[in-house]
Amino acid sequence: MLEFKPFTINRRGTLLQYDRPLVMGIINVTPDSFYAESRVNDTDTIKRRVATMIEEGADWIDLGGYSSRPGAEDVSPQEEIDRLAAGMQAIRSVNADIPVSIDTFRAEVAETSITQLDADIINDISGGNLDDRMFDTVAKLNVPYILMHMRGTPSTMSSLDRYNDVTAEVLAELSAKIERLSLLGVKDIIVDPGFGFAKNVEQNYTLLRNLKLFNILDRPLLVGVSRKSMIYRPLDITPQQSLNGTTVINTISLLSGAAILRVHDVKEAAEAVKIINLTYRQ
């Protein structure tokens, strides 16, 4: 039985209705993201990458200007905004209408991206932990918000993976934040369990095995495992060799109710969505 539930997102006053899982293509305008092939730093390359993603079936684009890789270079909010501005200009020159989420944990960057750069959604890897103004900012902007689970910072998270029950604790922490956001008036909340963020390999697979339980939050579920270490470490391969493993986990996630797949490789994810739909939604 397919666990996916149709969902809606309010995009700047227009209600978008989705009756199948979506594919979100990753564009990183950074020099140091963990997957080198995802890095794009010039306008023409961004345009080509976005055009290819849309042709291959991307429903949304996720644009990031600050790498969350442990040890990545710190950049100022203005540098992050400048990178995102160039990325958004390139994206909009290719497609003026595709929804774009901004991958940032800074409220200042989030506000500028929505009010000045024509972005639509905020994707916060810290779930509000790294900027205590983020929840109020999202509420003021009245935009969809992707709430990811993480503990600590990208530099400290690997030491914060002690759980008595990783599934129960991640669910509880997300649930508490959903309540806080709801009280502030944030209506469109997408949840992300945060695979790889303050979780070791075993804990990531425990979350994957229990992913159906996240449907109790009654929010669209985003899964972002693309080429992550939970794939390449146990298989003793590299991120570059991790496409097949990514597709396997994306398929498991779709069967467990994932509404959005955040990926570097759009074509393979879109094919997985189509085959799952053909199999279970005739």
pLDDT in tens, 110-141: 999 999 999 999 999 999 999 999 999 999 99
The 3-class secondary structure across 219-265, one letter per residue, is: CCEEECCCCCHHHHHHHCCCHHHCHHHHHHHHHHHHHCCCCEEEECC
The answer to whether the CB of 226 falls within 8 A of the CB of 235 is no
Q: What integer pLDDT is reported at residue 13 of this predicted model?
A: 92
Residue numbers annotated as active site: 228, 262
Q: What integer pLDDT is reported at residue 70 of this predicted model?
A: 62
Q: What integer pLDDT is reported at residue 15 of this predicted model?
A: 96
Q: What integer pLDDT is reported at residue 152 of this predicted model?
A: 87
Helical axes 201-209 vs 166-183, angle rounded to 10°: 70
Helical axes 134-141 vs 107-115, angle rounded to 10°: 10
Greatest alpha-carbon span in the chain:
50
Region label for 169, one of left (φ > 0), alpha (ψ between -120 and 50) or beta (otherwise): alpha
- Residue identified by tokens 């950049």 is 75
pLDDT digits (tens, 9 = 90+) for 131-179: 999 999 999 999 999 999 999 888 888 888 999 999 999 999 999 999 9
Q: What integer pLDDT is reported at residue 69 of this predicted model?
A: 66
Residues 117-143, buried b or exposed e (16+ Cβ, 10 A)?
A: bebbbbbbbbbbbbbeebbebbbebeb
Q: What is the pTM of this model?
A: 0.94
Rounded to whole angstroms, how far apart are CA atoms 252 and 275?
13
Q: What integer pLDDT is reported at residue 68 of this predicted model?
A: 72
Q: What integer pLDDT is reported at residue 213 of this predicted model?
A: 98
According to DSSP, residue 39 is labeled: B
**Which residue stretches of the chain have pLDDT < 50?**
35
Q: What integer pLDDT is reported at residue 125 of this predicted model?
A: 95
